[in-house]
């Protein structure tokens, strides 16, 4: 598991909580980020990375969802757990659109988030779908 003081992992956790909040509640993006930061109690967070991920997911949501649907055709979006779906959306954004994070890091981070916030099989599901995303989308490793 990632160190609790890793600012980039903390940024992804904050992005997960913020995106989950604005997708599945009546709160706006700014309120969600403030609430999420308070709940997660992270002092060392890479806020620029959080903002980059949240804005990127919001901007590319339809395209991201299409990629997830193509990569997991037997799992309609409404049947994927909400936490797993947000984890996948973050990862697909980072892999396909953000292109700042090395492939291995994006997948590892997503698997860690799935272990931390998902159910017992979330990490396996997320890992499998992301492997297909990398294959289908022709993601290049940007190390």
Quick check: pTM over 0.85? yes
- Per residue in 76-121, pLDDT (tens digit) is 999 999 999 999 999 999 999 998 899 999 999 999 999 999 999 9
Give domain 7-137's CATH number out of 3.40.50.720, 1.10.940.10, 1.10.3720.10, 1.10.357.10. 1.10.940.10
- Reference 115, options 8, 33, 9; nearest CA is 9
With contact defined as beta carbons under 8 Å apart, do 94 and 126 qualify? no
- Within 10 A of 70 (CB to CB), how many other CB atoms are there? 12
Give yes or no for a contact between 32 and 25, defined as CB atoms under 8 angstroms apart: yes
């Amino acid at each position: 598991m990632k160190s609790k003081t890793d600012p980039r992992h903390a940024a992804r956790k904050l992005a997960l909580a913020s995106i989950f909040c604005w997708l599945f509640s009546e709160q706006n993006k700014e309120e969600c980020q403030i609430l999420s930061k308070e709940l997660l109690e992270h002092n060392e967070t890479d806020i620029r990375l959080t903002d980059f991920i949240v804005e990127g997911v919001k901007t590319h949501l339809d395209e991201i969802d299409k990629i997830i649907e193509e990569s997991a055709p037997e799992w309609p979006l409404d049947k994927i757990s909400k936490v797993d779906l947000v984890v996948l959306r973050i990862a697909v954004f980072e892999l396909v659109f953000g292109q700042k994070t090395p492939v291995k890091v994006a997948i590892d981070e997503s698997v860690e988030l799935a272990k931390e916030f998902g159910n017992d099989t979330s990490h396996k599901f997320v890992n499998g779908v992301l492997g297909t995303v990398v294959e289908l989308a022709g993601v290049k490793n940007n190390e």
